[in-house]
């Protein structure tokens, strides 16, 4: 499978600045930039193709490229709400779009897949292009953070608090507790594994 490409990031943050303020017990705006950076780092750790969750949290648009047609073309994420388009380069190198009536989305416990209807006639593809087919789709729990399970948002807040309190690579003279265990316990039921 080719690496997916994110086209449009989520429209809203996973954790609001106000929630980060409350969690970190910050009662002034001087640290907003730091808190927002901590939220971005926590989100990056959990979300998308490189995140440990293996899924999109808030709706975002991705493109998955394929080398050839198949009866089912598996996408890397679950919770796909829509297909924006399926395009391909035909044998003359001209980009074409597949009629939306020719396919549907199916989801299982691992991810989503595009299934073509039996009436779909497989077009010839440009020969010397490694990935002539592109599926552009929207994946995520929903349009904003309220759609994301509370345990995932709580894990993100734990990470934000940790990043905010530990701004250096090494802390000297402090006994640490295992934050990772709490984060893992919160996200474990929601992680996508096995693809």
Q: Which CATH class is domain 17-52+146-190?
A: mainly alpha
| Local confidence band at 110 (pLDDT 50, 70, 90 cut-offs) | confident
* pLDDT tens column, 41-96: 999 999 999 999 999 999 999 999 999 999 899 999 999 999 999 999 999 999 99
Do the strands 95-97 and 5-8 form a parallel or antiparallel pair, or are they unpaired? unpaired
pTM of the model: 0.88
Given a contact cutoff of 8 angstroms between Cβ atoms, the answer to whether 145 and 19 are in contact is no
Using the predicted structure, report yes or no on whether residue 115 has a pLDDT greater than 70.
yes
pLDDT tens-digit map of 1-15:
799 999 999 999 999
pLDDT band with cut points at 50, 70 and 90 for residue 34:
very high
Q: What is the pLDDT of residues 126-137, one digit of tens each?
A: 988 999 999 999
If 0-12 CB within 10 Å is exposed, 13-18 middle and 19+ buried, where does residue 72 land? exposed
Predicted pLDDT of residue 194: 55
Which residues have a Cβ under 8 Å from the Cβ of 121 and sit 6 or more positions away?
A: none
Q: pLDDT value at position 132?
A: 97
Mind listing the pLDDT tens digit for each residue in 138-195?
999 999 999 999 999 999 999 999 999 988 777 666 665 555 678 888 998 888 765 4
Would you state the pLDDT for residue 164? 93
Judge whether 124 and 118 are in contact, CB under 8 Å.
no
Q: Are strands 103-107 and 112-116 parallel, antiparallel or unpaired?
A: antiparallel
Write down the domain spans for the chain: 17-52+146-190, 60-139
């Amino acid at each position: 499978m080719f690496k997916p490409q994110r086209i449009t990031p989520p429209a809203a943050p996973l954790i609001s600045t106000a929630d980060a303020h409350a969690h970190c017990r910050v009662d002034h705006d001087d640290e907003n930039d730091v808190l927002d950076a901590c939220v971005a780092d926590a989100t990056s750790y959990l979300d998308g193709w490189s995140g440990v969750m293996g899924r999109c949290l808030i709706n975002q648009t991705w493109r998955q490229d394929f080398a050839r047609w198949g009866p089912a073309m598996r996408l890397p994420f679950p919770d796909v709400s829509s297909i924006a388009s399926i395009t391909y380069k035909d044998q003359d190198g001209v980009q074409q779009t597949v009629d939306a009536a020719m396919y549907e989305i199916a989801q299982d416990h691992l991810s989503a897949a595009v299934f073509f209807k039996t009436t779909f006639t497989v077009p010839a593809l440009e020969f010397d292009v490694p990935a002539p087919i592109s599926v552009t789709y929207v994946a995520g729990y929903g349009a904003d953070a309220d759609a994301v399970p509370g345990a995932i948002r709580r894990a993100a807040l734990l990470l934000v608090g940790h990043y905010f309190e530990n701004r250096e690579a090494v802390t000297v003279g402090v006994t640490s507790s295992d934050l990772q265990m709490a984060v893992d316990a919160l996200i474990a039921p929601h992680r996508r594994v096995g693809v």
